[in-house]
Chains A and B, each alone.
Chain A
Amino acid sequence: EAGVAQSPRYKIIEKRQSVAFWCNPISGHATLYWYQQILGQGPKLLIQFQNNGVVDDSQLPKDRFSAERLKGVDSTLKIQPAKLEDSAVYLCASSLLRSYGETQYFGPGTRLLVL
């Protein structure tokens, strides 16, 4: 079974530029998550999708971050404009269901450096 795919793996941009990350979840997984992991911290949930609908985006900085999952499969996370503090690893995860405790499978992440 193929795992969660993410691209690009690395990205370096200057502040105020825009950037987009792509995620392809495990086939058949209805729930998709984006986490932000700042150096020295644990991952923090940015947004959770159930199929193509948003379940939780309470910690997404909506003035600069946006995410979509138009066909309920792939997802894109965008930052515009980027700030220095956005430097982090962006992890995508998926789970079969959205039930409490459902196992989440993580991709390798996209490491973003904002200069």
Chain B
Amino acid sequence: AQSVTQPDIHITVSEGASLELRCNYSYGATPYLFWYVQSPGQGLQLLLKYFSGDTLVQGIKGFEAEFKRSQSSFNLRKPSVHWSDAAEYFCAVVFEGGATNKLIFGTGTLLAVQP
């Protein structure tokens, strides 16, 4: 079955430290890949997306993500975390073949930032 896994439920990093959030998917072909961020009481904001081409994708707020086909992964990174990055991060995919543009989300990773 098609699925998205975010193995880390909760991560705490110090401000200024680097960050990597993991995302793996299960699918026979390359899906469309997204990272969204959700701040408390807010909707989801798109950070970046990958469809094809360069496997290193740049997004907003200094985030980037790397697609690795061999590992079925699309990990999100940031070289230096700011306190305002504390939020919940969702990896999501769209699988071709269905009739819809349905986003399938992982369970999310809650990021806490220590001063």
Contacts and interface: CB of A to CB of B under 8 A. Distances in A.
Interface of A: 4, 31, 33, 35, 40-45, 48, 55-56, 91, 93, 95, 98-109
A55 B99 contact: yes
Interface in B78-115: 90, 92, 94, 96, 98-103, 105-108
A42 B32 contact: no
A101 B32 contact: yes
10 contacts: A33-B103, A41-B107, A41-B108, A42-B90, A55-B100, A91-B44, A95-B101, A101-B94, A106-B36, A108-B42
A57 to B, nearest CB: 10
Q: Which 9 pairs of residues, A with B, have the shortest CB-CB distance?
A: A42-B105, A101-B32, A106-B43, A56-B100, A106-B44, A108-B43, A45-B102, A48-B100, A107-B43
Nearest to B100: A56
Interface of B: 4, 32, 36, 41-46, 49, 51, 90, 92, 94, 96, 98-103, 105-108
A43 B45 CA distance: 13
B60 to A, nearest CB: 12
